[in-house]
Structure 1
Amino acid sequence: MTYGIDFGTSNSVVARWTGSATEVIRLDSAALPAEWNRPGFDELFPSVVSLRDIQRTLCFGWSAKCDTAEPQDAVKRMLASRPVAMNAGDAAAGTVPEEHEVWLGDEPFRSTAVAAALFHRMREGARRNLREMDEAVVTVPANATGAARYRTRAAARLAGIKVKALINEPTAAAISYAHDFPGEGRFLVFDWGGGTIDVTLLEHYDGIFDEIASRGITALGGLEFDEELVKLVLHKLGTAPERLTRQEARRWRRHVELTKIALSQPGTDQVLFEPLGGLAPVVIHRDEFEQAVEPLVRRALVPLEECLRDVGLTAEDLDAVLMIGGTSQIPLVRREVERALGTAVVDSRLCKPMTAVARGAAITAAEIDGLIPDTTISVATSHDLGLSFEAGGQRGFATLIPRYSTLPARGTRSAMPAVRGASKVVLEIVEGDGERAADDERTFPLARLELPVPQPDAEPSSNVFDVDYHYDRNGILKVHAKARHTGVVILDEELDCFGPDGTPIAQGIDRELERLLRRIDEPAPRTAQPEPARVEVTTSVLEMQEDPADEPGPALVVDGRGIMTAGRTAASPRPPSMRLLGSALREVRRRYAQHHVVAVIGTDLVDLVEYDEQDILEQAVAEGLVVTVPSASPHAVLNVAQQLDAVVVSMEDLRRLRTPYPWIMEKGRFVKLARVERHWVFT
Structure 2
Amino acid sequence: MTYGIDFGTSNSVVARWTGNGTEVIRLDSAGLPAEWNRPGFDELFPSVVSLRDIQRTLCFGWSAKCETADPQDAVKRMLASRPRAADAEGYASSGAVPEEHELWLGDEPFRSTTVAAALFDRMRAGVRRNLREMDEAVVTVPANATGAARYRTRAAARLADIKVKALINEPTAAAISYAHDYPGEGCFLVFDWGGGTIDVTILEHYDGIFDEVASRGITALGGLEFDEELVRLVLTKLGTDPGRLTRADARRWRRHVELTKIALSQPDTEEVLFEPLGGLPPVVIHREEFEGAVEPLIRRALVPLEECLRDVGLSPDDLDAVLMIGGTSQIPLVRREVERVLGREVVDARLCNPMTAVARGAAITAAEIDGLIPDTTISVATSHDLGLSFEAGERRGFATVIPRYSTLPARGSSSAMPATRGASRVVLEIVEGDGQRAADDERTFPLARLELRVPQPHGDPAGNVFDVDYHYDRSGILKVHARARNSGTVILNEELDCFGPDGTPIARGLDRELERLLRRMDEPLVNGTRPAAEKQEEPTGSLAFPESETGVSTPSLVVDGRRIVTAGRTAASPRPPSLSLLGSALKAVRQRYPERRVVTVLGTDIVDAVEHEEQQLLDQAVAEGMIVTVPTASPQAVLNVAQQLDAVVVSMDDLTRFRTPYPWITESGRFVKIARVEWSWVFA
Distance in 2 of aligned mates of 1:124 and 1:146? 28
The corresponding residue for 2:597 is 626
1:527 Cα deviation from its structure 2 partner: 3.9
For residues 52 and 237 of structure 2, the distance between their equivalents in structure 1, rounded to whole angstroms, comes to: 33
Distance 1:248 1:382, change over 3 A: closer
2:387 counterpart of 1:419? no
Q: Quote the residue 2:625 is aligned against.
A: none
C-alpha contact (below 8 Å) 2:173/2:358 kept by paired residues: yes
Please list the CA deviations of residues 326-359 of structure 1 after superposition, one character each: whole Å capped at 9, or x if unmatched. 0000000000000000000000000000000000
Deviation at 1:277, TM superposition (A): 1.7
Alignment length (residue pairs): 573
Alignment of 1:297-336 (within 5 A): 297-336=298-337
Secondary structure of the residue that 2:520 maps to in structure 1?
Answer: helix
SS in 2 for 1:497: coil
Residues 25-81 of structure 1, C-alpha deviation per residue, up to 9 Å, x if partnerless? 000111111100000000000000111111111100011111111111001011112
Contact 1:195 1:221 (8 Å CA) reproduced? yes
| Contact 1:248–1:277, Cα closer than 8 Å, also in 2 | no
Aligned identity (percent) is: 80
Counterpart in the other structure of 1:123: 124
The answer for the alignment partner of 1:480 in structure 2 is: 481
| Aligned partners of 1:446 and 1:499 also within 8 Å | no
- Look up the equivalent residue of 2:597 and give its one-letter code: V
- Residue in 2 that maps onto 1:546: none
CA distance in 1 between partners of 2:97 and 2:465 (Å): 34
Provide closer, same or farther for how the CA distance between residues 88 and 410 of structure 1 changes in structure 2, counting only shifts above 3 A: closer
Distance 1:401 1:7 in 2: 27
**Deviation digits for residues 104-157 of structure 1, max 9, x if unmatched?**
122111100110000001000100111100000000000011111110000000
Are the aligned partners of 2:387 and 2:401 in contact in 1 as well (CA < 8 Å)?
A: yes
Counterpart of 2:35, as a letter, is E
> Counterpart of 1:123 in 2: which secondary structure?
helix
**1:82–1:100 CA contact under 8 A, matched in 2:** no
* Structure 2 residue 1 is the aligned partner of structure 1 residue 7: no
Any conservation in 1 of the 2:85–2:442 contact (CA below 8 Å)? Answer: no
Query: Separation in 2 of the partners of 1:363 and 1:612?
Result: 58
Query: For residues 397 and 251 of structure 1, do their structure 2 counterparts lie closer, same or farther at Cα, with a shift above 3 Å needed?
Result: closer
* Pair 1:565 & 2:532 matched: yes
SS of structure 1 residue aligned to 2:447: strand
Task: Report the Cα distance in structure 2 between the residues aligned to 1:596 and 1:286, rounded to whole angstroms.
Answer: 53
Alignment of 1:143-542 (within 5 A): 143-239=144-240, 252-527=253-528
**Aligned-pair CA distance for 1:252:** 2.3
Aligned to 2:55: 55
**AA aligned opposite 1:410:** R
Distance (Å, rounded) in 1 between the aligned partners of 2:439 and 2:51: 40
* Structure 2 counterpart of 1:396, one-letter code: G
Give the superposition deviation at 1:238.
1.4
Following superposition, the deviation at residue 569 of structure 1 comes to 4.1
The letter of the residue matching 1:53 is D
Distance 1:460 1:128 in 2: 62
Task: Provide the secondary structure at the position in 2 that maps to 1:115.
Answer: helix
1:597 matches 2:597: no
For 1:571 and 1:302, locate their aligned partners in 2 and report how far apart those are by CA, in whole Å.
Answer: 28
Measured in 1, the distance between the counterparts of 2:318 and 2:329 equals 22
Matches of 2:201 and 2:87 in 1, distance apart?
37
Partners of 1:510 and 1:265 lie apart in 2 by 43
Verify the 8 A CA contact 1:271 1:285 in the aligned structure 2.
Answer: yes
In structure 1, how many angstroms separate the alpha carbons of the residues matched to 2:176 and 2:230? 34
Aligned equivalent of 2:64? 64
Shift of 1:275: 1.5
Aligned to 2:80: 80
1:222 and 1:330 map into 2 onto residues whose CA distance is 10
Structure 1, unaligned runs of 5 or more: 529-562, 589-593, 601-610, 633-650, 652-683
Query: 1:112 maps to which residue?
Result: 113
Amino acid at match of 1:626: R
CA-atom RMSD, angstroms?
3.1
CA–CA distance in structure 2, aligned partners of residues 96 and 470 of structure 1:
21
CA distance in 2, matches of 1:83, 1:519: 31
- Alpha-carbon displacement from aligned partner over 1:278-312 (angstroms, at most 9, x marks no partner): 21111100000000000000000000000000000
User: For the Cα contact (< 8 Å) 1:77–1:571, is it kept in 2?
Assistant: no
Partner of 1:544: none
Inter-partner Cα distance in structure 1 for 2:491 and 2:120: 36
Moved more, 39-48 or 93-102: 93-102
**8 Å contact kept, 2:192–2:199:** yes
Instruction: Tell me which moved more, 501-510 or 47-56.
Output: 501-510
- 1:597 partner letter: P
Q: Which sections of structure 2, spanning at least 5 residues, go unmatched?
A: 559-576, 600-619, 622-643, 645-684
| Letter in structure 2 aligned against 1:401 | I
Shift of 1:393: 2.0
Classify the secondary structure of the residue corresponding to 2:421: coil
Aligned counterparts of 1:225 and 1:101: Cα–Cα separation in 2? 24
Q: Is the 8 A contact 1:83 1:99 kept in 2?
A: no
Find the aligned partners of 1:262 and 1:366 in 2 and give their Cα distance: 36
Give the whole-Å Cα distance in 2 for the aligned partners of 1:613 and 1:505. Answer: 44
Secondary structure at 1:520 match in 2: coil
**Runs ≥4 residues deviating over 6 A:** 85-97, 246-249, 611-614
* SS across alignment from 1:387: strand
Q: 1:89 to 1:408 in 2, by over 3 A?
A: closer
- Cα 1:435/1:19, change in 2 over 3 Å: same
Matches of 1:201 and 1:347 in 2, distance apart? 18
**How high is the TM-score relative to the length of structure 1?**
0.79
In structure 2, the CA distance between the partners of 1:410 and 1:596, relative to structure 1 (3 Å rule), is: closer
Residues 171 and 267 of structure 1: CA distance in aligned 2, closer, same or farther (over 3 Å): same
Higher alpha-carbon deviation: 497-506 or 198-207: 497-506
**Residues 463-472 or 275-284, more deviating:** 275-284
Q: Which amino acid aligns with 1:344?
A: E
Is the Cα contact below 8 Å between 1:186 and 1:318 reproduced in 2? yes
CA distance in 1, matches of 2:590, 2:47: 39
Taking structure 1 as reference, are residues 410 and 289 closer, same or farther at Cα in structure 2, changes over 3 Å only?
same
Residue range with higher mean Cα deviation, 209-218 or 493-502: 493-502
With normalisation by structure 2, the TM-score equals 0.79
Aligned counterparts, 1:572-651, within 5 A: 597-598=555-556, 615=582, 618=586, 621=590, 623-624=593-594, 625-626=596-597
Post-superposition offset of 1:462: 1.2
8 A Cα contact 1:447 1:499, kept in partner: no
SS at match of 2:339: helix
- The one-letter code sitting in structure 2 at the alignment partner of 1:167 is I
CA contact (8 A) 1:201 1:212 kept: yes
1:655 is matched with: none
Closer/same/farther in 2, CA of residues 400 and 581 from structure 1, 3 Å limit: closer
For residue 208 of structure 1, report the CA deviation from its aligned partner. 0.4
Q: Distance in 2 between matches of 1:418 and 1:291?
A: 57
Q: C-alpha displacement at 1:239, in angstroms?
A: 3.5
- Quick check: 2:155–2:506 contact (8 Å CA) kept in 1? no
